[in-house]
Structure 1
Amino acid sequence: MESRMFPAMPPSAGREFAGSEKEQGLEVRTVNRQSPSNRVREVQVTGTAEVCCLADRVSVRVSVANSKESVNEVTNRVSRRLEYILQTLRHHGISDKDISVRRFLHREAELYHMDAEVVVTFSNFEKMEQVCSVLLEKLDKSVCVGTPQFYHSAGCLSQLRRQVCVFAVENAQQKASGVSQLLGQSLGPPLLIREEETKEWRNEEEEYGSRGQGAAPLSHLPRTPIVTASSRVSVSFSLRDRDRKKL
């Protein structure tokens, strides 16, 4: 399942021109950019945004174990189950680069023990559920399928950070555009863009805690974590007269 992005616009984004604008980081002033004879009017605003992103990866640990009196017997028994697991994964289109296999053979008293482990990474959560169901159905008690572990890939987090910054700049531009219209001016190009603050937090428990005491989460139901990122930017735009002709 692909990651889903949920942009959140600040509640006051549409009315930040009225009232206490200083609190919202708004400042209109005339400054010297090039020389005393070339005065540039500008508007400085802040913009904020929040974006939520569901985990885009999940890993599952599948283990097989057996004990026999001979090395060949225990190796053959475990190898047959491993081969079935790998065939099932390939049948569902799982690439070898997303599969890792480990084996461990040891002896205790008169018995040889072999433990094998397959760790699989999925980007499609529905496919993960299908594979786990097939393995549990066909191999039954001879296989142990661990609890799925959801996480965010590096690419997903990188995209999240870029997108929340873009949304914050868009919000700042909308604010500055409204201010320029109020002052009878035309909004010019940006002069300076600075990201003032960024934050990230995980809120996998949030949706469960908001349901109240009467709706406790199922203990065996894997939870998909959510990462929320916020950004606050400061942007300066030049101001131009509306009736000024473009050269």
Structure 2
Amino acid sequence: MDRQCRVFAAGRESAGNEEEEGLEVRTVNRLSPGNRVREVQVTGTAEVCCPADRASVRVSVGSSKESVSEVTASVSRRLEYILQAVRQHGVSDKDASVRSFLRREADQYHMGAEVVVTFSDFEKMEQACSVLLEKLDRSVCLGTPQFSHSAESLSQMRRRACVAAVENALQKAFEVSQLLGQTLGAPLVVREEETRERRNEEEEDGGRGQDAAPLPRLPCIPTITASSRVSVSFSLRDKSRKRL
């Protein structure tokens, strides 16, 4: 039986903190001992960044009155205005949740309520918050936006990273085949070897000098970076070989 023949062309390249990428060119018996398939195996890596696409804002109101009906009416009017304002800025009812709590202390009834609103349009979020502060003034309290990633955006980011890694592997294999005087054939095996994700946050000082006047800090929009490493095998053909 013919002995399997292997030829290795090793190459390493690195940039920054990226992992080294390997290259292997070999002849293997994929079909039968007498029918050898020449192939090139390469790895490809890629990174894709994705900013947060959701933001939740907590809007709180409260009141103290001598009767339940008075305190309920006071809070309910402001709650209705809040819900109407966010609807006018593109928020659906399913993206706004309301909670309220009533308690009594001595002769006073205290009622607190909060609305948690989830925005997908950050510009409309800023506009809605400005309207609420302008119209309700001190009777409303707005929390700092809490940013997050939807499941759909994370899934799309992972797919984009994998596809980009395969594209990089394809480009590398094509250049190697040209160097070796071969024609790159069809892919034989595509395998995703590793996936990673990391969250990136901005620096605390925002790049401002120590002598600069203090300024209100804008909310930081976090991003997530997904990296993918794939291994791909392609068949090789001699350039001089005629196609059937």
Assess same fold via TM > 0.5: yes
What's 2:135 paired with?
Answer: 138
Q: Give the 3 Å change call, closer, same or farther, for CA 110–20 of structure 1 in structure 2.
A: closer
Deviation at 1:245, TM superposition (A): 3.4
> What is the TM-score of this pair, normalised by structure 2?
0.87
Q: Give the 3 Å change call, closer, same or farther, for CA 137–219 of structure 1 in structure 2.
A: closer
Which residue identity is paired with 2:174?
S
What's 2:182 paired with?
Answer: 185
Deviation at 1:181, TM superposition (A): 0.6
What's 2:147 paired with?
Answer: 150
Structure 1 runs (4+) deviating above 4 angstroms are 17-21, 212-219
Candidates 192, 196, 201, aligned match of 1:199? 196
Candidates 25, 28, 33, aligned match of 2:30? 33
Deviation at 1:38, TM superposition (A): 0.6
What residue ranges of structure 2 are gaps of 5+ in the alignment? 1-8, 14-19
- Tell me, yes or no, if structure 1 residue 243 matches structure 2 residue 219: no
Deviation at 1:20, TM superposition (A): 4.5
What's 2:168 paired with?
Answer: 171
Identity %: 74
Whole-Å Cα distance in 1 between the matches of residues 87 and 210 of structure 2? Answer: 43
Matched residues, number: 229
Is this contact kept in 1: 2:12–2:22, CA < 8 A?
A: no
What residue ranges of structure 1 are gaps of 5+ in the alignment? 1-16
Which residue identity is paired with 2:219?
P
- Tell me, yes or no, if structure 1 residue 92 matches structure 2 residue 89: yes
What aligned pairs does 1:1-247 form with structure 2 within 5 A after superposition?
A: 20=12, 24-205=21-202, 211=207, 214=210, 220-247=217-244
Whole-Å Cα distance in 2 between the matches of residues 29 and 239 of structure 1? Answer: 10
Deviation at 1:31, TM superposition (A): 0.4
> What is the TM-score of this pair, normalised by structure 1?
0.86
- Residues 153-203 of structure 1, C-alpha deviation per residue, up to 9 Å, x if partnerless? 111111111110110010000000000011111111111111111111111
SS of 1:127 mapped into structure 2: helix
- Residues 5-64 of structure 1, C-alpha deviation per residue, up to 9 Å, x if partnerless? xxxxxxxxxxxx99647x631010100001011100000001011111110000000011
SS of 1:41 mapped into structure 2: strand
Which residue identity is paired with 1:139?
L
Q: CA RMSD in A?
A: 2.2
Whole-Å Cα distance in 2 between the matches of residues 19 and 173 of structure 1? Answer: 16
- Residues 191-223 of structure 1, C-alpha deviation per residue, up to 9 Å, x if partnerless? 1111111111111135x5784865999563210
Which structure has the larger Rg?
2
